[in-house]
């Protein structure tokens, strides 16, 4: 598949994945974005800035280089493009990035408090606490630097950027969206648990075991 064909495929995938953000109530109005790395090229596909989710389609997606400069498309890229691009430049294993302002995860970010690993789902998907990243302003790659520095310190696929909201990463855009959905789900559950009392943490060796099983054993084996 040529780079041009790959971009066409990713435009369709990324446009479709934005509908998952709406379906899972992770976004409001035009906030939030999904991006995907273009394999074999220093490019990414991302949602344009300020476009209604009702108007998102494959041909409205834009392509930028890994400095966030527009390469293909008629609309301005998302205001978070610099952060996405920084992640791709510095985390070559990442193929997809998602940002939302989902209610419960963003509430934890507003408190500047990590989501503790008190549920097996947190251990499975995130490998421990979901960490908090530093406060940073939109406009340059400061947010991206905070994401990378925080995620490199552990196994989590999600980071709660202080006073801003969650960013999630994955091997591809679908995996990053899954992480965003699960991040909001556990943020809500742990919040509710704290209304009842202090949640019980999972021992570190059990977290390691759960994470290893979920990442390497869970699910269906690929067919030959």
pLDDT, tens digit (0-9, with 9 covering 90-100), for 115-161: 999 999 999 999 999 999 999 999 889 999 999 999 999 999 999 99
CB 60 within 8 A of CB 46: no
Average pLDDT, rounded, for the chain: 97
| Tokens read off for 145 | 């630097």
Q: Which residue has the higher pLDDT, 116 or 221?
A: 116
pLDDT of 45 higher than 90? yes
Q: How many residues does the structure list for the chain?
A: 224
Q: How confident is the model at residue 93 (pLDDT cuts 50, 70, 90)?
A: very high
pLDDT of residue 155: 98
Interhelix angle 173-196/3-23, rounded to 10 degrees, is 20
DSSP helix/strand/coil, 14: helix
Separation of alpha carbons 133 and 144, rounded Å: 10
Supply the pLDDT for residue 224.
59
Instruction: Kindly state the percentage of the chain with pLDDT values over 90.
Output: 95
Residue 14 has pLDDT above 70, yes or no: yes
Helices (H), the chain: 3-23, 81-90, 103-111, 120-126, 142-151, 173-196, 204-216
Buried b (16+ CB within 10 A) or exposed e, 127-160: bbbbbbbbebeeeebbbbbbbbebbeeeebbbbb
At residue 140, the pLDDT reads 87
Is the pLDDT confidence value at 222 over 70?
no
Domain boundaries defined on the chain: 3-216
pLDDT tens figures, 60-84: 999 999 999 999 999 999 999 999 9
**Domain covering 3-216 in this structure, CATH number:** 3.40.225.10
Region 88-99: what's the mean pLDDT? 98
pLDDT value of residue 223:
62
Q: Which residues contact 129 (CB under 8 A, 6 or more apart)?
A: 114, 115, 116, 117, 122, 154, 156
């Amino acid at each position: 598949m040529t780079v041009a064909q790959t971009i066409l495929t990713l435009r369709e995938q990324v446009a479709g994945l934005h509908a998952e953000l709406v379906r899972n109530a992770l976004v409001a109005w035009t906030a939030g974005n999904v991006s995907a790395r273009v394999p074999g090229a220093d490019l990414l596909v991302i949602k344009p800035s300020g476009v209604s989710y009702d108007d998102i389609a494959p041909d409205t997606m834009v392509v930028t280089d890994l400095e966030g400069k527009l390469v293909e498309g008629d609309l301005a890229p998302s205001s978070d493009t610099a952060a996405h691009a920084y992640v791709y430049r510095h985390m070559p294993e990442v193929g997809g990035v998602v940002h939302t302002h989902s209610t419960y995860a963003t509430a934890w970010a507003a408190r500047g408090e990590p989501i503790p690993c008190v549920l097996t789902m947190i251990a499975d998907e995130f490998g421990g606490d979901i960490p908090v990243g530093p406060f940073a302003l939109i406009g340059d790659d400061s947010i991206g630097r905070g994401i990378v520095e925080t995620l490199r310190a552990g196994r989590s696929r999600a980071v709660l950027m202080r006073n801003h909201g969650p960013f999630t990463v994955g091997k591809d855009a679908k995996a990053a969206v899954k992480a965003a959905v699960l991040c909001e789900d556990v943020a809500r559950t742990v919040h509710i648990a704290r209304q009842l009392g202090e949640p019980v943490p999972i021992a570190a060796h059990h977290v390691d075991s759960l994470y290893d099983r979920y990442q390497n054993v869970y699910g269906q084996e690929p067919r030959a």
